[in-house]
Structure 1
Amino acid sequence: MDVRALGIAGAWEIRPVRRADPRGLFLEWYRADVLAEAVGHPLRLAQANLSVSARGVVRGVHYADVPPGQAKYVTCVRGACLDVVVDLRTGSPTYGRWEAVRLDDVRRAAVYLAEGLGHAFCALEDDTTLSYVCSEPYRPAAEHAVHPLDPELAIDWPVARPLLSERDRAAPTLERARAAGTLPEYAACRAYSGGLRTANTFAE
C-alpha cells in the first residue's frame, strides 16, 4: 500500500496493492496502521456511508465545523469519479486551492482528507458507487457547503452540465461563507489534529 501526500496539507492518496488471478481480485482498501503512520494518529471509525450517483452528478463541496470536524476515507467500489479536496481553512497557506484524484474500480485508490477540508466529487459513469468511512457521525447542524461551481474556486469539473442537489445549488460562494464566519480556521484544525496525535501518544 502506497500513501502519497497531496499538495494540500491533511490530504493523502492511498494506492493499494492489487493481487489478481483467474478467480478474481484481492486488495486491502484500508489499513489502520498504514494510514495512522502517514497521518500521525488513527482514524476513528464512527460512520460508514455509501453513495450511488448517475453520470454527471456533482456532490459537494461539503465540510463540518471543527472541532470535531469529520475526517473521511473515500474509495470508489463501482464506476469512476473525480474526487476533489478543497482547502476551506481560513489562514491556510493553500486556502482556496483544490486538488483532484480519479477514483475508480480499476486502480481502487482511496483519498483521506482531514478535519476542516472540503470534499466533493463528480461521477464519471452511471451507478458510480463511493464507500467512505468518517471519523464522526453526521450532525446536520454542524454541516455546511460551498457552491461547487463557484468561479473563485474554479474547479475543473469534467462535465458540461453538472447535476446538483437543491442544497448544493443553494450553497454560498467561498467569499460569502467566509464573510458569514462558517469556514474552519486553519489554526483550530491544526490544534485539533495535534490533540489527536497527543491523545494517541498517551494511549500507547
Structure 2
Amino acid sequence: MTTTAVPRPALTDLGPIAQLRAGRLTRRLVQLFVGLFLYGASLALMVRGALGLAPWDVMHSGLIRFIPLTLGEMVVVVSFVVLVLWIPLREKPGIGTVANAFVVGFSADATLAVLARPDALWERALLTIAGVVLCGLATALYIGSQFGRGPRDGLMTGLVRRTGWSLRLVRTGLEVTVVVLGLALGGGLGIGTVFFALAIGPLAQLMLPWFTVALDPRPALAAGGDQG
C-alpha cells in the first residue's frame, strides 16, 4: 500500500485586493487578528519577565524613556515610521501590514494593564520563555493567514530585494542596529534578548506549516496586476 504525500500550502505575495479574493476569508481574518493579538501579548510577557526583550522592543523600551508614550503606542508609531521606509523600497503593504501596525501595540498595552511583574526569578523566566514561544506561534498565525508581512518584516525583505544581500545578513544588520540604538537609550537588553534571537526563527519555521492557509488559486490569478 502506498501513500501520497499531501503538499503543504505555499505562502503567496498578493496585494490587498487579491488577498480578499483568495478565499477562506473568515478563517483567515480570524487567524490574522488572533495572531496579531497574541504577538502583542507575547511582548507584554517578556516585559513582565524583565529578563530582556526582543531586538525591536529593546529600541521601543528605550524610546519611551524620552518620549511620553506607552510601550504599545511606541510600537504603533515605529510601525508607521518603518512603513514610510517602504516607499523607496517599493514594498506594497497588505491588509495584514496595516492591521499589524495597530493591533500589536494595543494588544501589548492591554496585556500589560492586567499582568503584574512577579518577584521570583523562576516566574520571570517562565514568562520570558512563554513570551518567546507565544511570539513564534503568533508569527506563524499571522503570516500563515496570507495577508502580507508586518512593517518590520517588509523592511527586511525590501532591503533584501533592493540590495541583493542575503536575508540573514539584512536581518542581523537590522536587529543589531535597533539593539544598539535601544541600548544607547537605556532599553531592556538581557538574556531574554539572546534567547529570542536564537529561538524565534526555528519556532516560527516549525509552526508556520501548521497554520498556512491554502488559497483558492483562481481569484488570485484573476487579480493578476494586484500582486505585490
TM-score w.r.t. the length of structure 2 is 0.27
TM-score w.r.t. the length of structure 1 is 0.29
Higher relative contact order (CA 8 A, sep 6+): 2
Structure of greater Rg? 2
> When you count helix as a share of all residues, which structure comes out higher?
2
> When you count strand as a share of all residues, which structure comes out higher?
1
